[in-house]
Amino acid sequence: MTRHPLSYPNSPRGNHVDTYHGVTVPDPYRWLEEPKSEASQQWIDAQNQVTFGYLEKLPGRERIQQRLSQLWNYERYSTPFEWGGRYFYFKNDGLQNQSVLYTLTSLDAEPRVLLDPNALSEDGTVALGGMAVSENGEYLAYGLSTAGSDWNEWHVRQIETGLDTDDHLRWVKFSGAAWTHDHQGFFYSRYDEPDESTKLETVNYYQKLYYHRLGTSQSEDVLIYERPDQKEWGFAGSVTDDGQYLVISVWQGTDSNNLVFYKDLSRPDSPVVELISIFEANYSLVGNEGDRFWFRTDLDAPRGKLIAMDLTQPEQEHWQEIIAEGEDTLEGVSLLNHQFVANYLRDASTALSIYSLDGTFVRPISLPGIGSAGGFSGKRDDTETFYSFTSFTVPNTIYHYNMVTGESTLYRQAEVEFDPGDYATSQVFYPSKDGTRIPMFIIHKKGIELNGRNPTLLYGYGGFNVSLTPAFSVSQLVWMEMGGVYAQPNLRGGGEYGEDWHQAGTKLNKQTVFDDFIAAAEWLIAQGYTSSHTLGISGGSNGGLLVGACMTQRPDLFAAALPAVGVMDMLRYNQFTIGWGWEPDYGSPQNEDEFKALYAYSPLHNLKAGTQYPAVLITTADHDDRVVPAHSFKFAAALQAAHSGDAPVLIRIETKAGHGAGKPITKVIEEVADKWAFLAENLAMAL
């Protein structure tokens, strides 16, 4: 591969300096934190001109995009659910930008379109951000996100007629909707109205829980709960199956620990009662039977257990353990057919079991193979449910499950134009820097030679208790069709082995995550899968931080890096939108010990002038109000200034898009084609 140095846009260095705990830290690209300024807009346009000028000339890019479009063009269904005497599911015909919501009165009835987001914008950038069906199946409350923003506007649709009411709620973020059983309205959470010009950057504090009654204006909504003394608290309301209680989960940033309050809806003037009032564990409501409530919790059980508590005797000494902590991680529990369906993670794959209400084991639920299963939603009396199953080579497949007989019946099976028998999946365990055993999935075409020359993409996340489990991906499939190996390690910081595994990759331990990822790369090279000249790394959001930190710590180890919507400025991340909420994982630069740890790995602050970095394609979006694009902007400017090699270091800035959720299929395909063509060029792949 012949490389010619690129001419990058001018990125003027300012003289801004901050001081943290006596340490002076230059921030020469602070001006890029104002994305709407004329200087920033000119910089964005100039960067995109260079980036797309490079990408458009890559051999095979158009062919990759055509193959992605061809494979993505298959019918995709979500797991159906029943509510209010109706069934609901999402379907995508193949290349629709957004999936369409359908409803039907019985499983053999003719489905009817209830909500088609594709009709709401010409370019598919309006997406469904949330929904809730009223108890009687008469109304749909739904939230819409524009251009990928976390801000949602909520509306109400009459399900029978398909017509919207006049109800319109704004400034809703990080909230669902919970209907009261009189069908007259729902609970939701919102923030005060922000400044329109800075709504994508301004920090989000003081969320409030409201009740909206149908047919009234938002200004008349009833404030149910707020805490002026706790600006970081957020409130997620849900209504119990019997309609008697509003249960409020109180969250603080991304910390998995939460509080639990409740309000008796049978008494209009009842107070909000604090049931769990200390942030010391996670409590997820499973269901109730009168005053008896079941919660999945990790209190004194890092891998999770199921407990029962009685509202008449709420003290901890009266709690009952229903399902004890085991070797596998208890991800979640459903209450169906007066039984518990327990969803476990066993070495990052799903295992399912059914228990009686007293915790007696009933039977396992057999799955088609090693992979990921989800679903099992419904109510306590339901005798049927649905679940989905997927793996790296099995597209999402939906089953109808009989809770009485234990029989699974195939309901929907996706048909994708590929032969899963052509691919091999393995799970390996490798030692990290400190000797900890880390699992990793490796997928590739059968028959590859371990000759150290296979183009390999190493993908990771490692944070926020998020578990990476097997899942089918058209983009990964195309990568493997091109001859690439795909590797996915389960780094510490994730939730694969419970809360201890999560905490082992947070705050002062965050470097452990990067060590795990670097060790995965070294293992793949040592085993002959690939080499430092044919290895690329990829990750998004917190995974973008992972890529940024590892490529700055070990630029010699990788040939290409794809950091997407990454958190790159670890000293400023908590100054924008919901960034402050990530402090439970990252720590705060205001704390001296945590500042030292953050400064030591912050990608922006660890670029070294004169270094030959890998080929880098940074991706971000102008409407990302989760990880504001300034992170990527500043990192790109600093990287281009520090880089001494001929490998391209580019930033691709998507317009009318956000952090990723709701992105139109057309934009997804274009971006993946650009990434794979970039990798092919810089990993010397023969296309």
C-alpha dist (Å) from residue 482 to 294, 393, 421, 676, 679: 49, 16, 16, 9, 11
Which residues, at least 6 apart from 523, have a Cβ–Cβ distance to it below 8 Å? 428, 430, 440
Identify whether 659 is a catalytic site residue: yes
φ/ψ of 118, rounded to 5, equals -65, -25
Q: Report CA 257 to chain centroid distance, whole Å.
A: 18
Beta carbons within 8 Å of 159's beta carbon, 6+ residues apart: 86, 103, 114, 133, 137, 138, 139, 140
Size (the chain), residues: 687
Q: Which two tokens stand for residue 361?
A: 């084991």
Phi, psi angles (nearest 5°) of residue 480: -75, -35
Helix runs in 58-101, H state only:
61-72
Determine the Cα angle at 381 with ends 376 and 387, to 5°: 15
Do the beta carbons of residue 199 and residue 151 sit within 8 Å? Answer: yes
Which own/partner pairs from 305-310 qualify as long-range (CB within 8 Å, at least 24 positions apart)? 305/330, 306/330, 306/333, 306/340, 306/342, 306/355, 306/359, 309/275
* DSSP secondary structure code for residue 256 in this structure: S
Residues 6+ apart with CB under 8 A from 33: 201, 572, 628, 630, 633, 634
* Residue 217: active-site member: no
Find residue 355's DSSP bridge partners: 340, 361
Name residue, tokens 């609970």. Answer: 187
Of these residues, 541, 602, 631, 632, which one is catalytic? 541
Query: Residue 641: which residues within 8 A CB-CB, separation 6 or more?
Result: 11, 13, 609
Work out the number of other CB atoms within 10 angstroms of the CB of residue 72: 20
Out of 605, 631, 643, 659, the active site residue is 659
Tokens 């980036």 belong to 51
Query: Could you tell me the two tokens for 604?
Result: 């922006």
Name the amino acid, one letter, at 511: Q
Say if residue 6 is exposed, middle or buried (CB neighbours under 10 Å; 0-12, 13-18, 19+).
Answer: middle
Structure tokens at 27: 């921030």
Q: Would you please indicate which residues are annotated as catalytic (active-site) residues?
A: 541, 659
